[in-house]
Amino acid sequence: MSILAVSSLLFFNRFGEYEAYFIYFIGSYGLGVLAYLVSRFQDIGVQRLAKAALILIGLIIAAAAFQQIWLRNFLAWFIALTLFFVG
């Protein structure tokens, strides 16, 4: 899920041709799933893994911003972090 989310946010989300396909929206969906797993899932191991994935995706988005800034990627990541903290 994390690999699909990152590929969607960094590649497929930048082209309008993919708006009719799931891969365009899977980045935001994947971040929402990870935020849910971090905040509500019962297994502590899954929570830690999801937290690590969420942080790693944020770092990848920040590193990709050196090439070109896409505010919607930051917005999706910040909303996922807000869902994590507000829960």
Confidence of residue 3 (pLDDT cuts 50, 70, 90): confident
**pLDDT for res 48:** 94
Single pTM value for the model: 0.76
Range of the domain at 71: 2-86
- Residue 44 confidence (pLDDT) above 90: yes
The percent of residues in the chain predicted with pLDDT above 70, rounded, is: 99
User: Do the beta carbons of residue 40 and residue 31 sit within 8 Å?
Assistant: no
Domain count along the chain: 1
- Residue 78 confidence (pLDDT) above 80: yes
User: Do the beta carbons of residue 38 and residue 51 sit within 8 Å?
Assistant: yes
Torsion-angle region of 63 (φ positive above 0: left; ψ -120 to 50: alpha; else: beta): alpha
* Tokens 């960094």 found at: 10
Q: What is the mean pLDDT of residues 72-82?
A: 82
Cβ atoms within 10 Å of 37's Cβ, excluding its own: 20
